[in-house]
Amino acid sequence: MEFSPNNKLFFYLSAGAKAAVLEYAYTLTVPVDPDILKLAVKDAVTAFPVSQLKPVISPNGTLSAVLSDFTAEDMPVYQYDGSHVHLGAEDTNGYVFKVCWSDNRIILTASHAIGDARGVNSFLQTIVYYYLTRLGYEIDTEGLVYTIEDLSDPTITDSLVEKSKDFYSSEKSPEQDDVSLIVDTDDIFSPPEQKIYLRTPQTRYFEIILDNRKFIDVVKSFGGTPLTFVHAVIAETMYDFYKITDKFIVANVPVDMRTALCSRAQSNFTFNVNLNISSDDLHLDMETLVKTLRGRLKKATELNRMLKDIAASDAYYAYFDQISLTDDTMLKAFSDYVVNLKPTRTYLLSNIGKFVLPKDMSSFVSNVEFVFPVVESTPVFSMITYKDRASLIVAQNYEDDGFIEALRQTFAKYGIETGLNDRGLIQLDDVKIMDFPREPDQGALPQ
C-alpha cells in the first residue's frame, strides 16, 4: 500500500508549515484502562490500513511509505500530560497519529495526511468500539463503524483522485464556469490581523455553545440549512465588524464525496468548494439570503463540476513526486510557494453536521470534542453537534476576541443565545516532514 495523491498533498504541505493536525476527544461513561486501550488501538489500526502507513524519505529524497508488522506494544498510546510530539517521527514509533487517555477520555491526534475530519473521527469511533467490546459490552455497529470485517471492502482504500476519473464525463461538464461562483483573489476579504500573526505556532481557540434544538428551529424558520445560515451569520458579522464595503466573504466548504462516488473510503475524500457572499447580498433579508446561498451551493457542488476540477489536478499532484526532500533549495522553493499563495478564501467552514453514533455506543459516549488548529492565513470555523449540544468552534492565529463577541451578538439578533468556552492559546502536535526517518542507501546491485 502506498500514499494516494490526496494523502501526499498534506504531507508535502507540511514542508511549508501548512498541513493541519486534527484532534478528536470522546468522553466515556466508563474509565479508561490503558492496557485494554492499547489492544483496542491495535484492532483499529488493523481495520484502518491507511493508519498503518509510516512515512520515510528515500535516498533520492522522495517520500514513500512503509508497512510493518505491529503489536499492541508498538501502538503510540500515552497517558495525557499536555506534552507535544512530532507525528511520523521517533516520538510516535513512525505513526502519524497518537492516542492519549486521561481518566475517562480518549483523545486521538492525527495528521491530516491520513484522513479528513470524517476519516479521523471514524478512526476514533473504531478505537472506542473495540475498547468497549474488549470490556465485554455488546455493540451493534448499525453499519456506522468501520471494523476488521470491512477489510473485504476494496473501496475503503479508494483514492479520491483516481476514483473521480471513473465517474467524470466530459460530455456532462459545463462549457464554462458559472460567473456567480467565481471571485478574483484580489476581491476576497481576509481579516487584517492575519498579516501580523501569520504562521504563529499557537492557535486561539473558542467554542461558541448553542442549544441545538433552538438553533435548528431558527434555521428552519428561514428555510435555510445549518451551513448556509451559519455562513450568512458569519458574513453579516464580518461586514459590520470590519467595515467591509468592496470585498467578498468567501467560505471554503469541504464536500464529502464518498456517497456520490460509491465509496467507503477511510482516508481523505473531500473536495473544497467556495461559497461567496457580496456586500449587495447583505441587503437581502435572511430568508432570501439563505435561499440564494442554497442555490449557489447547489451549483458549486454539481458532481461533474467537482469531478472536472479534481481530474484536472493530476499535474499538480505530479509536482510532489519531483520534489527531493534532501534538496534544501527545492524544499525551500516549495515552502515559499505554499506560504506566499494569495488567500482563496476568507475562512474555512467545516464539519457542519451531527455526530451520529450507534445507539449502543452512544450510551457510553457523553461528549465529543474537536480541535482544528490554524496553520494558514485564514480562520477556521467548525460546527459539531452531538445529542442536544451544538458547538461552533473558532480557531484563529491571532489573539483578538472582538469578532467573537460580535458574532455572538449576531446570533442573539436571530433569537439564538450562546455560551462561550474560551480555551485561550492552544498548540497541538505537529508533522515535520524533515523529521521523517530515512531509508538507508543500498548502493548498486552486485554485478
Task: Kindly state whether residues 202 and 114 are assigned to the same domain.
Answer: no
Clarify whether residues 276 and 139 are in a common domain: no
Residue 76 and residue 198 in one domain: no
Q: Are residues 252 and 198 in the same domain?
A: yes
Q: Is residue 363 part of a domain?
A: no
Please tell me the least confidently modeled range out of 45-54, 155-164, 344-353, 433-442: 433-442
What does 161-221 look like in DSSP terms, one character per residue?
A: HHHHHHH--GGGS-SS--GGG---GGGB---TTHHHHTT-S-EEEEEEEEEHHHHHHHHHH
One domain, residues 82 and 187: no
Question: What integer best gives the mean pLDDT of the chain?
Answer: 86
Q: Decide if 380 is inside a domain.
A: yes
For residue 133, pLDDT beyond 90 = yes
Same domain, 32 and 98: yes
Same domain for 267 and 139: no
The residues, any chain, with a CB within 8 Å of residue 312's CB and separated by 6 or more, are none
The CATH number that applies at residue 262 is 3.30.559.30
Give the CATH number, domain containing residue 88. 3.30.559.10
Is 60 exceeded by the pLDDT of residue 175? no
Task: Flag whether pLDDT at 179 surpasses 70.
Answer: no
> What average pLDDT does the segment 109-122 reach?
91
User: Is 102 in contact with 80 (CB distance < 8 Å)?
Assistant: yes
Residue 195 clears pLDDT 60, i.e. is over it = no
Examine residue 162 and state whether it is found in any structural domain, yes or no: no
Q: What are phi and psi of 56, to 5 degrees?
A: -140, 155
Residues 123 and 54 in one domain: yes
Same domain, 342 and 262: yes
Residue 388 is predicted with a pLDDT of: 83
Give the pLDDT of residue 445: 39
pLDDT at 413 (0 to 100): 97
Q: Is there a single domain that holds both residue 121 and residue 234?
A: no
Q: Which amino acid is at 37?
A: L
Q: Are residues 417 and 297 in the same domain?
A: yes
Say if 414 falls within a structural domain. yes
Answer whether residue 340 is part of any domain.
Answer: yes
**209 has pLDDT over 80:** yes
268-294 per-position pLDDT tens digit: 999 999 999 998 998 999 999 999 999
Our count of domains for the chain comes to 2
CA-based nearest residue to 207, from 359, 367, 435, 333: 367
17 torsion bin: left (phi>0), alpha (psi -120 to 50), beta (else)? left
Residue 35: per-residue pLDDT: 97
Residue 102 falls inside a structural domain: yes
Q: What is the value of pTM for the model shown?
A: 0.92
Q: Pick the closest to residue 169 from 348, 58, 355, 302 (CA basis).
A: 302
Predicted confidence (pLDDT) at residue 31 exceeds the cutoff of 60: yes
Higher model confidence: residue 398 or residue 18? 398
The sign one gets for the Cα dihedral 358, 360, 363, 368 is negative
Gap between the Cα atoms of 96 and 108, Å rounded: 11
| Phi and psi angles of residue 275, each rounded to the nearest 5 degrees, phi first | -125, 110
Q: How many helices (H) and strands (E) does the chain have?
A: 13, 14
**Neighbouring-strand partners of residue 203:** 426
Burial code of 234-258, b = ≥16 C-beta within 10 A, e = fewer?
bbbbbbebbebeebbbbbbbbebbb
- Residue 6 to residue 199: CA distance in whole angstroms: 23
- For 20-43, what is the mean pLDDT? 95
pLDDT value for 444: 41
Which of 261-275, 324-338, 343-357: highest mean pLDDT? Answer: 261-275
Q: Is 192 within 8 Å of 242 (Cβ atoms)?
A: yes
Q: Which of 135, 153, 171 is the last residue of a domain?
A: 153
Confidence of residue 312 (pLDDT cuts 50, 70, 90): confident
Q: Does residue 104 share a domain with residue 243?
A: no
More confident residue, 250 or 9: 250
Cell output for 218:
431558527
Domain that holds residue 70: 5-153
Q: Which of these, 210, 189, 143, lies nearest to 384 by C-alpha position?
A: 210
Which of the residue ranges 10-14, 94-98, 373-377, 412-416 would you say has the lowest mean pLDDT?
373-377
DSSP one-letter string for 341-407:
SPPS-SEEEEEEEE----HHHHTTEEEEEEE----SSS-EEEEEEETTEEEEEEEESS---HHHHHH
Q: Which residue type occupies 104? A: N
For cell 455526530, what's the residue?
355
pLDDT at 313 over 50: yes
Tell me whether residue 170 is in a domain: no
Measured distance CA(6)–CA(258) in Å, rounded: 14
Q: Does residue 415 belong to any structural domain of this protein? A: yes
